[in-house]
Chain A
C-alpha cells in the first residue's frame, strides 16, 4: 500500500471500433466456411500436385482408414433414407421410421448392415466413441457394392470420391476400386492434400 497518492487518470478506451472489427471477422467466417463434417476416423490423406477442387454437392464419399476399414457416406438426407430402405429390402431387415430418420442424419458410417440397428440405437456422445469395424467389401460379402449401387439408384447424379489414409495397405484400396468398377463407376476422385510440383 503506497503512502503516495497516485493521481488516477481516466483509462477510458472507446471499444466501438474493436467490436466492429470483431463482428466483421465473425461475419467473414460465418459466410466463407462450412462446418467440418464429423469423421468417424481421422484420415491423413497423401499429397498430390492436382489442384482440382471437390465439387460441392452430390458426393458419395468412401473413406478408407489406416487399418483398412471402409466407411461410406453420401450427401443429402432423402438419398440416405432411400438407400437405407432399399438395402433393408435386399438384406431382409426392416427399419422403423425413427431409425430411418436417425440414419439420414448420419454423415458417414462404417458398420455392417447387421449391426446398423444397434449403431443407430446408441445416441450422441456414445456413438462417437464406438470403434466402427468398417463395411465389408471382400468378394464373398460385398455390402459396399450394394450401398454404392443403391445410392446411385437413389441419386444418379452422385459423384464418387475416395479418401484414403496415406498408410493404408494397397490390397483394400484395390478391392474398393474393383468394387467401383464392378458397379460401372469408372470415373472417380481421390481426395488429396496440396503439394507443389517441386517435391
Chain B
C-alpha cells in the first residue's frame, strides 16, 4: 500500500549496499494497522458491552401459617390468570355476590388481550391509576424527586380496593409466559399480585375450556 517510489531510496537494495547518501526514514505502517484491526476484531467478538438486564422478583416468605392468620383478601377483588400452553391465558373473576368463579375467558399476551382487560378492570376499581403516567412524566422532567415519585406510586398501587391479580401457571406453560405476565403487571401498574400453585380444580377448568 504505502509504496515509496520516488528516488532518494528508502529501503535496502538487494545486496545490502546502500548507495544513496540521502536516506528516507519513512516507515511503512500498514502492518501496524492490520495488527490494530485484528485486535479490535478479537475484542469485538469475545467481549460484550451491555450488562444483562434483570427483573426484580420478590416472593412472599413461605411460612406455614394456619389459614386464620394468612392474609385475607376479598375474592371479589381478584382476577385469577391461568397461564397455559400456546401462550394463552385463561382468566376468571369471582362474582362479588355469589362468591363463585365467573365464566373463564381466553385471551392472549398481545396489547389488545390481557393488557386491555387488566387496565380496564384496574381503572374501574381504582380511579387514581390514570394519574400514574402523569407522575412518571413529572419524575422524568425532574419536577418531583425519586422519593416522592415512589411514595405516590406506592400509594396509588396499594389502594385498598384495587385489582388483585393471582397468577397460576400450569405445567404446559413456558418460562417466557411467566416473564411476560410479570411484565404486564408492571405495564398495567398492578400493585398487588401473587404467584401461586395451580389447583386441581383449575387444571380441570383448563382442560374443559376450548382454546
Q: List A residues at the B interface (Cβ < 8 Å).
A: 8-16, 18-19, 22-23, 25-26, 29-30, 32-36, 45-54, 56, 64, 161, 163-171, 173-174, 177, 180-182, 184, 186-195, 197-199
Contact = CB atoms under 8 A, between A and B. Distances in A.
A46 B179 CA distance: 7
B180 interface: yes
Contacts of A189: 54-57
Nearest to A68: B175
A36 B61 contact: no
At the interface, is chain A mostly helix, strand, loop or mixed?
A: mixed
A52 B180 contact: no
Contacts of B171: 169-171
B20 interface: no
Interface stretch (B11-19, B30-38, B94-102, B120-128): B30-38
A173 B29 contact: no
Interface of B: 1-6, 26, 28-30, 32-33, 36-37, 39-40, 43-44, 46-49, 51-62, 83, 111, 169-180, 182-183, 186-187, 195, 197
A46 B176 contact: yes
At the interface, is chain B mostly helix, strand, loop or mixed?
A: mixed
Contact of B180 (A10, A46, A170): A46
Contact of B183 (A33, A161, A195): A195
A25 B41 CA distance: 10
Per CB-CB distance, the 9 closest pairs between chain A and chain B, nearest first, are A22-B36, A33-B47, A15-B29, A189-B54, A166-B176, A29-B43, A46-B176, A168-B175, A50-B55
B113 to A, nearest CB: 12
Given A19-B29, A22-B37, A170-B174, A161 B54 contact: yes
Contacts of B48: 33-34, 36
Contacts of B51: 53-54, 56
Contacts of B47: 29, 33-36
B182 to A, nearest CB: 7
Contacts of A22: 32-33, 36-37, 40
A50 B26 CA distance: 55
A49 B186 contact: yes
Contacts of B54: 50, 52-54, 161, 189-192
B183 to A, nearest CB: 5
A35 B48 CA distance: 6
A164 B177 CA distance: 12
